[in-house]
Amino acid sequence: MSSITADELEPFIEETAVEHRRGFRHRWYRTPSFVAGVVILGIVVLAALAAPLITKYNPTSQDLLSTLQGPSARHWLGTDDLGRDVWSRLVYGARTDLRVAFLAVVLPFIIGTVLGLLAGYYGGLTDTFASFFVNIVVAFPFYVLIIALVFALGSGTRNIYIAITIVGWVSYTRIIRGEVLVAKRRDYVLAAKSGGLSDFRILFRHLLPNVITQAVIFACSDIVLDILAIVTLGYLGLGVQPPTPDWGNMIASGQTYLTTHWQLSTFPGIAVVFTALGLSLLADGLADLLRPE
């Protein structure tokens, strides 16, 4: 709004801001993107958890007599080139990819947040060093560095976690550092300092709860990035190793039969998009709900 409107409406804006702070609990169900995100993600997570209950076939058992079948009552989404049930693989793929994606954000989140706190709070040499490393990592295109690291380390989920951690902490450090730079000038930090509290206590008891929100919101979109990265690695054959079901793998192996059996690549792709949409909506809704003033 222009300054004029702000001027005219100042008393009202003040009040809406207070209303915003009034809480998550009362308003989450009135934020459509948040509700939609929870529902979509809920469906995917439930399907992944209930995988043995909602599938009839083992996702890795081959049936070379019934390969490349179209959708039918027996195989809801048909079978792949090795006669494996596509629906089973899709559901078990959710297990793999969701687990890896969720676990992959944990370390970057923790490391990035702590570094951001220290860099923002202490400034000076600490900040110079942290920023230097941030600048080096962001000089590499996201996928190039991930792929190069996975290549050097060797494929497999453990190395995916390591690669994503080496690349991913940067965003959290940037976000938290920026938030701390603003927050440390606020009264409550100055009060805590003049009260003689230890730096450790100020950092983790007073600053952290106030700056963590942005990192949490980013983590939701970061999981989307990680899912895409995992699926992309799988597509390139560098990710989760076969025969463990993984959506990226499924898309890659289906690509060979694109002209005749388009569904093989399409369904896992839709699964990725659906899951990512749920997470994006969740992030969007969270940002809406947690926006403080």
Partner 1 sequence: MTLGEYVGRRLLQMIPVILGVTVLVFFMIHLVPGDPARTILGNQATPARVALVRHAWGLDRPLYVQYWKFMGRVAHGNLGDSLFYGVSAGHLVLQRLPVTLWLIILSAIFAVCIAVPLAAVAATKADRAPDHVVRAVPLVGLGFPAFWVGIVLLLIFGLHAGRLFPVGGYGSGFFGHLHSMILPALTVALGLAPILIRSLRASLLEVLESEYVTTARSKGISEKRVMRKHALRNAIISTVSVLGVNIGYLVGGTLVIEQVFALPGIGQLMINSIFQRDFPVVQAVTLVFAVMVVLVYLLTDVAHALLDPRVRFE
Partner 2 sequence: MTREPLVKVRDLRVEFQLARGTVHAVDGVSFDVEPGEAFGLVGESGSGKTVTLRALVGLLPRGAKLTGGTIEIDGVDVTAADEDTQRHLRGTTVSMIFQEPMTALNPVMRVGDQIAEEPLVRLGMSRSAARARAIELMALVGIPDPRRRAQAYPHELSGGLRQRVMIAIALSGDPKLVLCDEPTTALDVTIQDQILKLLRKLQHELDVSLVFVSHDLAVIAQTCRRLAVMYAGQVVESGAVEQVFREPRHPYTLGLLRAVPDFEVVRERLASIPGSPPDLAAPPAGCRFHPRCRFVQEDCLAIPVELERLDAGREVRCLHHDQTAADVEREPVIVDA
Q: Which stretch binds partner 2 (CB under 8 A): 12-20, 32-40, 126-134, 257-265?
A: 12-20
Q: Which of 28, 102, 122, 133 binds partner 1 (CB under 8 A)?
A: 133
Three-class SS of residue 172? helix
Asked whether position 10 contacts partner 2 by CB under 8 A, the answer is yes
Whole-number Å distance between alpha carbons of 85 and 60 = 8
94's tokens:
């959710």
Chain positions 16 to 55 lying near partner 2, rule: CB under 8 A, are 16
- Nearer to partner 2 among residue 6 and residue 191 (C-beta): 6
In angstroms, give the least distance from the CB of 15 to partner 2.
Answer: 7
Asked whether position 212 contacts partner 1 by CB under 8 A, the answer is no
Burial readout 107-140 (b: 16 or more C-beta within 10 A, e: otherwise): bbbebbbbbbbbbbbeeeeebeebeeebeebeee
Q: Which of 41, 51, 91, 238 binds partner 1 (CB under 8 A)?
A: 238
Whole-number Å distance between alpha carbons of 106 and 169 = 10
Q: Rg (Cα) of the chain, in Å, rounded?
A: 23
Q: How many CB atoms lie within 10 A of CB 20?
A: 15
Contact 28, 289 (CB under 8 A): yes
Which phi and psi (to 5°) does residue 11 adopt?
-60, -35
Residue 38 carries which DSSP code? H
Q: Which stretch binds partner 2 (CB under 8 A): 11-19, 112-120, 152-160, 211-219?
A: 11-19
Q: Residue 85's beta-bridge partner residues? A: 79
Q: Tell which residue, 190, 180, 45, has the closest CA to residue 118.
A: 180
Asked whether position 152 contacts partner 2 by CB under 8 A, the answer is no
Asked whether position 197 contacts partner 1 by CB under 8 A, the answer is no
Asked whether position 125 contacts partner 1 by CB under 8 A, the answer is no
Asked whether position 107 contacts partner 1 by CB under 8 A, the answer is no
Site string for partner 1, 6-45 (x = CB under 8 A): ---------------------------x------------
- Nearer to partner 2 among residue 3 and residue 260 (C-beta): 3
Residues engaged in binding partner 1 (CB under 8 A)? 1-4, 33, 132-133, 135-145, 147-149, 151-154, 221, 224, 228, 231-232, 235-238, 248, 251, 255, 258-259, 262, 265-266, 269, 272-277, 279-281, 284
